[in-house]
Amino acid sequence: MAAAAHSLTTTTTRAPLLLRLLSARRRPAVAARTPPRRFRCCCCSTSSAPAQPHRPGPGGAGRRLRGELHSRAMSNSTNSTTILAEAVVAGSGGDVELLPFVNDKHGGVIVEMTNPMDPQLFSASLKASLSKWREQGIRGVWIKLPISLANLIQYAVEEGFWYHHAEETYLMLAYWLPATPHTLPVNATHRVGVGAFVMNDKREVLAVQEKSGVLRGLGVWKFPTGVVEPGEDINIGAVREVKEETGIDAEFVEVLAFRQSHKAYFDKSDLFFVCILRPLSFDITKQESEIEAAQWMPVEEFAAQPFVQKHELVKYILEVGLAKVDKDYAGFSPVLIKSAFTDKKSFFYMNRRDLDKASESSNKKQND
């Protein structure tokens, strides 16, 4: 069979045979089956005990262990999968259709389900597909299930698939066909946040008090902060957050510094970029849903807050911000670059000032 995508359409003449074969298998009840731990995730588990996230150890030990566990679980289902798949294909004249798929760039396949399908027919097609892909030397298998097809998750998990990641509208499941530790990439590990240092000509910084969070009701003034949206660049996100929280139009100047922390939101790591922006307007309109108050605040008054004195991150933000304004501190400015592999463009953040100085010095030495 060619390695091209096939239709999900199943004729009514095939269904009785598939159902008889599936019934003969006598699938055990799902409630009585204890799935391997790797099939659970913090966002989908219904257990009263919280699921523990996968934490790879040094040298990829966590990945090797997960691969070994997957290999053992896979060996338990391989024989029954192959036997039933071969029986379905042989008994139906070899006309059981594989699930629709596309090849990825790493020797694997991606199945993106879009149309409703009878769960038992899906199970039979999945078994036949896995059998065929194993013969072809396919390694990784990805199945993307929209939330409307959540009734098919059980059948994929029973064949050895595990949860890879989930978004608002879909669940991505993964499977490794070779009897070796898998080399599939892990789910996204970081969330990206921004903080904005904005100062006017009166040496007043833009400060806000939040309506929610750990600082709610404490009277603490802080810099505008927020989370970068999916597909949004850091410089664009910083400008947007300032506008949303305070109504101030601002121009992005540089990334001054960044902080990495771990086990933050849903146990993900966090990258927080400190940015300096130049104000283009000065009349404040606070965001009613999130901001309790907003003002231009004398920098000395802001720095004198007990919270700022105790919070090292805020102290450093203030320090690098003032260093940029007063002491010729150089941050990282965005440069739009092109990729050699795609038509997409992206921002490369670098210390352009010192790079230009180094280039000028190098050219001068060559000319001397």
Give the per-residue pLDDT at 357: 83
Residue 367 confidence class, pLDDT cut points 50, 70, 90: confident
The continuous run of DSSP H or E covering 257 comes out as strand 250-261
Q: Distance from CA of residue 16 to its chain's centroid?
A: 42
Shared-domain flag, residues 166 and 200: no
- In this structure, are 290 and 217 located in the same domain? yes
CA distance 81 to 74: 10
CATH of the domain at 201: 3.90.79.10
Neighbours of 224 (CB within 10 A): 27
The reported pLDDT for the residue numbered 94 is 52
- Residue 356 and residue 262 share a domain: no
CA distance 248 to 285: 8
* Residue 4 scores a pLDDT above 50: no
User: Residues with catalytic annotation?
Assistant: 244
**Structural domain boundaries enclosing 107:** 101-176
pLDDT of residue 180: 94
Mean pLDDT of 304-333: 94
- The number of C-alpha atoms within 13 Å of 144 and in the hemisphere containing its C-beta is 12
Both 254 and 132 in one domain: the answer is: no
* Of the residues 132, 150, 176, the one at which a domain ends: 176
Beta strands 190-198 and 269-279: pairing type? parallel
Give a yes or no: residue 1 inside a domain: no
Answer yes or no: do 208 and 319 share one domain: yes
Q: Domain count of the chain?
A: 3
Q: Residue 252, class by beta-carbon neighbours within 10 Å (0-12 exposed, 13-18 middle, 19+ buried)?
A: buried
Position 256 scores a pLDDT of 97
Amino acid letter for position 1: M
Q: List pLDDT tens digits, range 13-33.
A: 344 444 444 444 444 444 434
**Same domain assignment for residues 165 and 287:** no
130 is a domain residue:
yes
Q: Do 222 and 306 have their domain in common?
A: yes
Q: How much is the pLDDT for 45?
A: 35
CB 347 within 8 A of CB 341: no
Collapse the DSSP code of 130 into the 3-class scheme (helix H, G, I; strand E, B; otherwise coil) and give the result: helix
Same domain, 215 and 300: yes
What is the separation of C-alpha 107 from the centre of its chain, rounded to a whole number of angstroms? Answer: 22
> Model confidence over 41-50: pLDDT tens digits?
333 333 333 3
- What CA–CA distance (Å, rounded) separates 341 from 154? 38
Q: What is the pLDDT of residues 201-255, one digit of tens each?
A: 999 999 999 999 889 999 999 999 999 999 999 999 999 999 999 999 999 999 9
